Each structure stands twice: as C-alpha cells, then as structure tokens.
Amino acid sequence: MTERGASGMSGVSVLWDESVRFPSLAELKEAAVVVRLPMNVRFRGVVEREVLLLEGPTGWGEFSPFLEYGPAEASRWLAAGVEAAWRGWPEPVRDAVSVNGTVPAVAAERIPEVLARYDGVGTVKVKVAERGQSVDEDVARVAAVARELPGVRIRVDANEGWDHDTAVDALSRLAEFDLEYAEQPVAGIEGLARLREALDARGVGVRLAADEAVRKSDDPLKVARMGAAEVIIVKVQPLGGVRAALQIVEQAGLDAVVSSALDSSVGLAGGVALAAALPELKYACGLGTGALFADDVVAPGLKPQAGVLPVGAVVPERGKLEALAVDAGRRAWWMDRLEACYAELLG
C-alpha cells in the first residue's frame, strides 16, 4: 500500500492510500448533511455548533471547522472527514479509552451541575483564562472541582489566554492542586519555551502541554525540538485525520493526549479511533465533550459510561438528521465552504 500526501496543507501531511479513490467534489456535496447542535452551556463562546457530516463507502465522517477558520486551515478538517467516510481508520489496539470530564469557564457554584453530566471520570479538564475573567475566578473554579471530586486528577486549559506574567502567577497558584498539566497557557511555541524556563526557575513543577502550537503550526514538530512542552494535544480534524495525527505523535516522541474539537458524536468516534490506535495511552482522553451538547445526531450521543468510551463508528439517526438540519441558506454557505476547502486540499 502506497501512502501519499493529498497536499502540503500548512505543513501537515494528509496521508492517503493511492489504491483508494479520492471522492470528487460532486460526490462530497451529494453525501453532505448539515446540522445545528444546541449546547448545554456556552463553550469557547459557542452556544450551538454547525456540523457537516459525510456518508461514504466506509461510514460517516465529520467536517466541522469553526466558522471563523479560512480554507487553508479548514481543509485539514475536510481531509479528516473524507478519511473516515472513504477510507476508514487503522485497526485498534484497545477496545475502549478512558476520558476526562470538561468544565467550561463557568462560575464555581455551577461546578456540581456540570460534573453531574460525567459518569465515573477520574480526570477533569478545567477551562481557565476566559476573556473578562480573573485568575481568582480560575483558582476558585479549580478548587470547586477538587472539593466536589476529592482525589480527581485535574488539568487546566487556557487556550493561549494568558500573557507570560499572568501565566507564571496563575500556574504558581494552581500548582497546589497537583495539576496533570497546563494546556497552552500562552500563545506560540516560543511563548511556551519562555514560560517553561520561568516556571523551572521558580520551582513550579507544572507540566506544559501544547495544543494550538501543534494544530495551528506550519511545523507541528517544532514544539518537541525546542523542548517547549512535555505533552502534545492531538485532535483528529485539525491535524487532517487519524493517520496524520498518528504520524505526528510518532515523530514528536512526546506524551500525547487525544482530544476533541467540539465534534458531534460522529467526529468523537474519530478521536476514539485515534486513541485506540496509539501504541501507548498514558493520559485520559479529552473526548467526553459530547456531554456538553443538549442534542446530537444519535441518542443519547457518544458520552462516557464509567469514565470510558467504546471503540467503534457512529451512525447518525435519520430522524435526528432531519430534525437538526439547517435551513437552505446555511446549507448553501456550507456547500461554498466545502468547495473552497476541497480546492485547497487538492490544489
């Protein structure tokens, strides 16, 4: 079997088996279903999620780049959806994966409500550094999780929301909670490297994880070469598919955590496929975000039971696809976006 890159794609190789025919744009448009999923809570400013699903010979794939992403970045997400629907995923080495719960940047008093949506998780990721919020609010949120679930493993995710000095202060204060790691506290690979040095100089032993510095970089392996983080976050859609993400993990040589990109259950199944194919899976995966949706394309949705998700494809329910379908205007917008990303992917 011969692999080739479908395109340069901002430095991320999208792997494709030359023996498998890549679908035409017309086929993709015919296979596409666009839905709008409501959310239980605001997450990264999102209260509903528009998702384009593709039905192909090997199952269903998802193409759901955030609305502000341009074709160059969004084309990777299309590659992941095509891989799922027209090629399928690598064979798994495990039949289930552990997942973490996710706490959005809500007030501390809402923590019990949010955690009640997760069954049996032993790890919780807490969103911090929300615009307009303070470090005091972040610390209170993490403390509330620790009180609600004594002994739970906690990681925080800042989505590049802190500047250097704020990150040093915040992580020095949050270190008392024995964090697993802090995900992308500051922007950029150089920013992470500088923060790593500052924390080491102060004896703050919080591990750093790179997310945006991997999935948005022209060179996703630079993090490893610079020693800017101890952990990399890998997401199937932003990296161009399961095989592309596997290649990055292998070449980086760092601990990897598989996480979601606020996918529907169809996309989450791709994340599970990646986690199931990794030779080593040290950390719980960030794939429990199905619990953040008020509705999904399957019922009850791909949500953790006893802290784990099963390995396997998800087939949307036709009734759900019809009930959640967007109007004609939004579908036309997504068809234009699909066409632009297809041209970027193969051009």
Binding-site residue ranges for Mg(2+): 157, 183, 211
The pLDDT value recorded for residue 11 is 35
Rounded mean pLDDT of 288-298? 94
- For residue 123, what are the β-bridge partners? 153
Of these residues, 222, 235, 303, 320, which one is catalytic? 235
Domains of the chain: 3-89+320-346 (3.30.390.10), 96-316 (3.20.20.120)
Q: Are 100 and 282 in contact (CB under 8 A)?
A: no
DSSP element (H, E) containing 53: strand 46-56
pLDDT value at position 103?
94
Cis-peptide, bond into residue 300, ω within 30° of zero: yes
Sequence letter at residue 183: E
pLDDT confidence of residue 218 = 83
Does the annotation count 235 as an active-site position?
Answer: yes
| Cα–Cα distances in angstroms (integers) from residue 1 to residues 15, 16, 49, 232, 247, in the given order | 12, 10, 37, 29, 16
| pTM of the model as a whole | 0.90
Nearest to 238 by CA among 7, 90, 62: 62
Model confidence pLDDT, tens digit, residues 80-89: 999 999 999 9
Whether pLDDT at 12 is above 60:
no
Tokens of 118: 């997760």
- Report whether 293 contacts 260 (CB < 8 A): no
pLDDT in tens, 197-246: 999 999 999 999 999 999 888 899 999 999 999 999 999 999 999 999 99
pLDDT tens digits, 239-259: 999 999 999 999 999 999 999
Binding residues: 157, 183, 211
Whether residue 125 lies in the annotated active site: no
C-alpha to C-alpha distance for 132 and 273, rounded to whole angstroms: 36
Mean pLDDT of the chain: 94
- DSSP track, 126-156: EE---TT--HHHHHHHHHHHHHHSTT-EEEE
Q: What is the pLDDT of residues 123-143, one digit of tens each?
A: 999 999 999 999 999 999 999
pLDDT in tens, 294-336: 999 999 999 999 999 999 999 999 999 999 999 999 999 999 9
Determine how β-strand 46-56 pairs with β-strand 32-43. Answer: antiparallel
Phi, psi of 153 (to 5 degrees): -80, 135
**Residue 151 CA to its chain's centroid (Å):** 25
Q: In this structure, what are the phi and psi dihedrals at residue 232, rounded to the nearest 5 degrees?
A: -115, 140
In the DSSP assignment, the letter for residue 316 is -
* Catalytic site residue from 127, 222, 303, 320: 127
Q: Is 2 a residue whose pLDDT tops 70?
A: no
Q: With pLDDT > 90 as the criterion, what percentage of the chain qualifies? A: 88
Q: How many C-beta atoms lie closer than 10 Å to residue 2's C-beta?
A: 7
